Structure 1
Amino acid sequence: MPASSSRLSSYRLPAFALALLLLLGVGIASVWGVSSLRTSNEWIGHTYEVINRIEVAERAIRSTEANARAYRLTGHPEFRSQYLIATHQVDTAHEALASAIRDNPAQHARVKRMREAAQAHLVELRRLFDLQELQGAEAARQATNSTLTLRQWNEFDTAASEMRREELRLLDQRKARSDRSATLLSAIVVLGMLLSGGLMISLMVSVTRENKRARRLELEARGAAHEMALSMAQVGELSKQRHELARYSGLLQSCQTLDEIVQLSIDTIRRLVPDASGRFYLIRASQNFHDSVASFGDHLISSPDSLMPADCWALRRGQAHMVSGEEARQLSCAHLDTGTPAPGITSLCLPLSAQGTSIGLLHVSAATDAMDHGSAVDELIGQLAEQLGLAIANLQLRETLRTQSLRDPLTGLFNRRYLEESLARELQRCERRNLPLSVLMLDVDHFKRFNDTHGHAAGDALLGQVGRQIQAGVRAEDIACRYGGEEFTVVLPELDAAGALVRAEQIRRAVEIATVQHLGQQLGPVTMSIGISTFPGDGLTPEVLLQLADATLYRAKAEGRNRVLHVSYDD
């Protein structure tokens, strides 16, 4: 770089700083000047206001004098009214004038003189007015003291003239100050803009020359940078993929449902391998086939909705199995399309397992170029499959534990805790949709006697049989619970009282005709008493509905047992 350019470069930062300081100074000066002008204008406006109030005070006293004189001469009631109004306006005008010049002691003294003179004159006018009211206009005219009136007027006019002259002097002074501020502000702004503009232009010229020089150097280095970019792109892509996998691991820990896990896995696979397609399979409880739970993409290689473990090499071997179109000697899985994989397409099957137990299968197909990119995509998807298997296993374990915590182990029905949670939720849902909801409270008749006669084991068998009968007699959306002991509760969403009576009667009859097998003996039959309450007619809260259903249940037992009663049953 030439020496002259180096010397100029060393002055750029100071020049730029100086230009900024100039612009800052111009800004500060502008703010100060505008503030000064605003203040000056406010004082000028104040002066005009004071002058106007002086004139208002003069007009008020003159109006009072004129109306009083007209009333003495004519006796007309209109002039009398105008006089009384003008008398009040004199005080108001002097109060407003005194408020306007309260910050000026000299002017305040003059206002005081004006007010005293006006008050003295008003007293004289009041004396004549009262005389006219009592003795007539002629007596008031004869009692008029012109000398006194003239002296009062002179005192008033003198004070008003002095105030006006003082305000005019202040007006000239404030206008001159405003003009000086405006002139100074203009000079500062123009000078600052010229200096800062000149510095900025010089800097622009210097920077433009430097940019031309830098572009030449950039062209020389572009070839080397391009080669480096190609190598860094591969590293960056691999880093991005590993970042996606790390992100997947973090989010996977927060998933609470299988749908969330599957959707997160699909999104991550599509980020790792754009345009990929495939399916997720989970093994069924029978352990003899895998069923599809989700699919994604355009299915470059199709796979059926269900498959047997023997149809997939990955499930047989317990490890990943990849087949590419160019590798004809590799074995293709039986669950894939006949004649696949197609040229340019790679198929990858990954078993999902946890702690040595098979859970399912992940099948992915994509363009071979995408799968082989960086020779690490299959490894990354394999790591994803390992984490996916563990996440699904943990979710299934959590669901199992949750189910156990909400189910009664003896009857298989939901427990009381689940009832309290679900009843409140279903009640809110039905309330939002203006739908009914019914609650059944069921109790096995003479259960204590049955227990004492046949033993606790037989009593448990009876409760299990009753639980199965209740479960068989309700809909999928109904909630059947063991409330405690031999007492059961059924929540019937969207079912009114009439429907609940029909459903309860079906359950009562099913229990009545059923028998209990225990230790080779046939026990029973037994009967049930059932009480019903319905939202919204019988109650609006879970507590009220349960209490009313329970009370109706005991009413049914008191009336002879083995019957169904609604809370509004008419005796």
Structure 2
Amino acid sequence: MAWHPDPGPPLPDTLTRLRPYRYPSMALAAGLLLAVGVAMVWGIAELKRGITWVDHSYRVISEIDGGQVALLKSESAARGYRRTGAAAQQADYLLIVPQVLEHPDNLVRLTDDNPEQNERARRWRDLVHTRLGELERLMDDTQATGTADEAINRDVRFSRMRRASTLANEMRVVERKLLVQRRATTDQRATQLTMFVVLGTAIPVVLLGLLLTGLLRENGRARKLEREARSAMRELEASLAQRDRLSEQRRILGIYAGMLQSAEDVTEAFSLTVETLEKLLPQAGGRFYTLHPSADIADTAARFGTEAIASADVLAPNQCWALRRGQPHRTDDEHGHIKCQHLDQAVPLAGIWTLCVPLIAHGTSLGMLHVSAHERDGTANNDTTLVEAIAEQLSLAIANLHLRETLRLQSLRDPLTGLFNRRYLEENLNRELQRCARRGLPLTVMMLDVDHFKSFNDEYGHAAGDALLSQIGQTLGSLVREEDIACRYGGEEFTVVLPEAGAGEAALRAEGIRSEIGSTTVTHLRSTLGPRTISIGVATFPADGDTPAQLLAKADRALYEAKAQGRDRVVSA
């Protein structure tokens, strides 16, 4: 199955809906901040202008007040001088006159922006000048008739001072109204500017806060996706490594399966399996058990690796859960720790996994494969699959080898007597003859024939004849050595090859065979039949020939000579 990385959780709906407004929001925030900046510059300029006008009103009022004060002082100095004639009073008057003249002139300049107020300032300046003229006359009239008090009283009654004061008060009232209006306008503009600045700053801050929150969330998700991507990459790398490992394991298993089919015997099959398991499971160890034909005991047939826990060399089937149940039995942290009795009971299973796999083919139990290893990075399940696959192939291979051996034996043995057949004789006589020739040893061939077998068949039937031949085959098989070759040559004829046996030894053994078979009886249909005698012809290498054909021919002629001499005897070539 193709591997697909986890795409991770979807973006929240809120972020998804707000994403199209991100750039407009940023543009709006930037525009508002720019507008706030412009407004602040404009507001500051307006505030400065408003403050300037307020200050202007204060200066106008100050000039009016200063002019009034200076005029009153000049009036007081002039009357004092008129009353006392003191030079100090005259000096004071002369000192204050410039100030009296300065304030009306300043006021005229300050009110240039306000025609009505400027007109009043001009009129007031004229009154001030007129009043100064009156004071000059008052001071210069010291030689006039009448007292000083009378002169002062006339000045009080007829002076322009009252009109000047009234006009100054009128200008002051007007200017104070202007001051109030200008201050109100300045305060209003300051309030408006403050509100605009606050709103213009708050809205971008909120927008930027939302954008920042969204960015932080997206950055968080991006980091999460990056972590997931890294994790997915690690998983992918592990998956690729696992795939490569599985591919290599399949390759090794394929080679193993191919070579296993070519194994000549069970020993070679076990050797191939040991080599394969050591490649696939270098960290594990174990052994193979094969069941006896009686199926009551299993012996160790082969071992591999280093076992994590020792297993018995010989076990009974009921000591292994796998052999009892006919299916694999595994112990580890995941599958429990039910230990088979053939394992070392003193060793705890903590940190160890074991696996017993029965070797079963065609419903027949052949043995068991046991594997144990220390647990590592959760690969025991894959190891279990490998072991089970190897056990399955090995079981089939053992069954096929047994079947092949059975078929081979059946093809080389006579089914009636259990002895080797003529084909086996032809294949092995030449090999044994060459071996003895290389070592300078003799070899003897005996040809045996049942005397009067045809008449026995005619009298008792073919079934009885087969029973007699079967009994003779069993007796002959019990009389030969393990290295000898006893064969049914055909019909009632038998052949025995005696490697490393000379003519004298062969003659003695031939006599023993003749005597033993000559006393053999057979029970058939509740009747005891026999005994039947045999005749034997003997030929020995190298005296009687140096090829299988020569020896067989010489032995056959010796057999006919024995029959010609009256049967039930041994004749050498």
For the criterion TM > 0.5, the same-fold answer is yes
Q: Describe the SS at the equivalent of 2:282.
A: coil
CA contact (8 A) 1:496 1:534 kept: yes
| Runs of 5+ unmatched residues, structure 1 | 1-223
Q: Which amino acid aligns with 1:534?
A: T
Larger radius of gyration between Structure 1 and Structure 2: 2
Equivalent position amino acid for 1:537 in 2: A
Q: Which AA in structure 1 matches 2:281?
A: V
SS at match of 1:529: strand
Question: Which residue number in structure 1 is paired with residue 487 of structure 2?
Answer: 481
- 1:431-465, Cα deviation, whole Å (9 max, x unpaired): 22222211111111111222222222111111111
Distance apart, 1:549 and its partner CA: 0.6
Structure 2 regions of 5+ residues with no counterpart?
A: 1-231
**How many Å apart are 1:554 and its aligned residue?**
1.0
The one-letter code matched in structure 1 to 2:325 is: R
In 2, Cα distance between equivalents of 1:239 and 1:449: 71
- Compute the displacement of 1:552 (Å): 0.7
- Report the 3-state secondary structure (helix = DSSP H, G, I; strand = E; otherwise coil) of the residue aligned with 2:376: helix
Question: Are 2:280 and 1:272 equivalent residues in the alignment?
Answer: yes
Alignment of 1:168-187 (within 5 A): none
Task: Return the letter of the residue paired with 1:503.
Answer: R
What percentage of aligned pairs have identical amino acids? 57
Which residue of 1 is the match for residue 538 of structure 2? 532
Check if 1:330 corresponds to 2:340: no
Give, in whole Å, the separation in 2 of the partners of 1:279 and 1:496. 47
Within-5 A mapping of 1:397-408: 397-408=403-414
Q: 1:230 to 1:460 in 2, by over 3 A?
A: closer
Aligned residue for 1:460?
Answer: 466
Question: 1:428 matched to which residue of 2?
Answer: 434
**Alpha-carbon shift at residue 357 of structure 1 (Å):** 2.4
1:71 aligns to what? none
Counterpart of 1:292 in structure 2: which amino acid?
T
Is the partner of 1:304 in helix, strand or coil?
A: coil
Say if 1:332 and 1:340, in contact at 8 Å, map to a contact too. Answer: no
CA gap 1:276/1:493 in 2 versus in 1, 3 angstroms: farther
Match of 1:389 in 2: 395
Is this contact kept in 1: 2:300–2:314, CA < 8 A?
Answer: yes
Q: Which of the residues 301, 307, 311 maps onto 1:303?
A: 311
* Structure 1 stretch displaced more, 507-516 or 333-342: 333-342
Q: What is the identity, as a one-letter code, of the residue corresponding to 2:406?
A: T
**Residue 107 of structure 1 aligns with which residue?**
none
Matched, 1:249 2:263: no
Query: Cα offset for 1:298?
Result: 3.9
Distance in 2 of aligned mates of 1:454 and 1:334: 59
Q: Structure 1 residue 229: deviation in Å?
A: 6.3
User: Structure 2 matches for 1:430-449, cutoff 5 A?
Assistant: 430-449=436-455
**Is the alpha carbon distance of 1:429 and 1:369 closer, same or farther for their aligned partners in structure 2, counting shifts above 3 Å?**
farther
C-alpha distance in 2 between matches for 1:467 and 1:540: 28
Question: Could you tell me whether the CA contact under 8 Å between 1:323 and 1:341 is conserved in 2?
Answer: no
Matches within 5 A, 1:12-91: none
Classify 1:235/1:294 alpha carbon distance in 2 versus 1 (closer, same or farther; 3 Å): same
CA displacement 1:90-120 (0-9 Å, x = unmatched): xxxxxxxxxxxxxxxxxxxxxxxxxxxxxxx
Match of 2:373 in 1: 366
Match of 2:346 among 339, 355, 360: 339
CA 1:227 to 1:335, structure 2 compared with 1: closer, same or farther past 3 Å?
closer
1:108-158, Cα deviation, whole Å (9 max, x unpaired) = xxxxxxxxxxxxxxxxxxxxxxxxxxxxxxxxxxxxxxxxxxxxxxxxxxx
Over 3 Å counting, the alpha-carbon distance change for 1:373 and 1:425 in structure 2 is: same
The amino acid that maps onto 1:451 is: N
Call closer, same or farther: CA 1:437–1:302 in 2, change over 3 Å.
Answer: farther
* 1:509 and 2:509 aligned: no
Deviation of 1:227 after TM superposition, in Å, equals: 9.7
Does the residue aligned with 2:427 lie in a helix, a strand or coil? helix
Question: Does the aligned pair in 2 maintain the 1:444–1:529 contact within 8 Å?
Answer: yes
Kindly indicate whether the alpha-carbon contact (under 8 Å) linking 2:412 and 2:421 is maintained by their aligned counterparts in 1: yes
Following the alignment from structure 2 to structure 1, what is the Cα–Cα distance between the partners of residues 557 and 440? 26
The 2-side partners of 1:541 and 1:258 are apart by 34
Of 470-479 and 302-311, more deviation after overlay is shown by 302-311
d(CA) in 2 for partners of 1:398 and 1:434? 35
3-state DSSP class of the match of 1:353? strand
1:228 to partner: Cα distance: 7.8
Cα RMSD, aligned residues only: 2.3
Q: How does 1:197-212 map to 2 (within 5 A)?
A: none
- Quote how far apart the aligned CAs of 1:230 are: 6.1
Q: CA deviation at 1:345?
A: 3.1
Equivalent AA in structure 1 for residue 364 of structure 2: T
Could you tell me how far apart the structure 2 residues matched to 1:340 and 1:378 are? Answer: 21
Q: Which runs of 4+ in 1 moved over 4 A?
A: 224-232, 326-329
- Per the TM alignment, residue 375 of structure 1 is displaced from its structure 2 partner at its CA by 3.8
| Aligned residue type for 1:547 | A
Given that 1:242 and 1:380 are in contact with CA atoms closer than 8 Å, whether structure 2 keeps it comes out as no
Measured in 1, the distance between the counterparts of 2:367 and 2:327 equals: 12
- Give the conservation status (yes or no) of the 8 Å contact 1:438–1:491: yes
| Deviation (angstroms), 1:272 | 0.8
Match of 1:320 among 325, 328, 331: 328
Q: Distance in 2 between matches of 1:377 and 1:245?
A: 13
Q: Against the structure 1 CA distance between its residues 406 and 453, is the aligned structure 2 distance closer, same or farther, given a 3 Å change threshold? A: same
Name the aligned partner's letter for residue 569 of structure 2.
R
Contact conserved, 1:412 with 1:467, CA < 8 A, in 2? yes
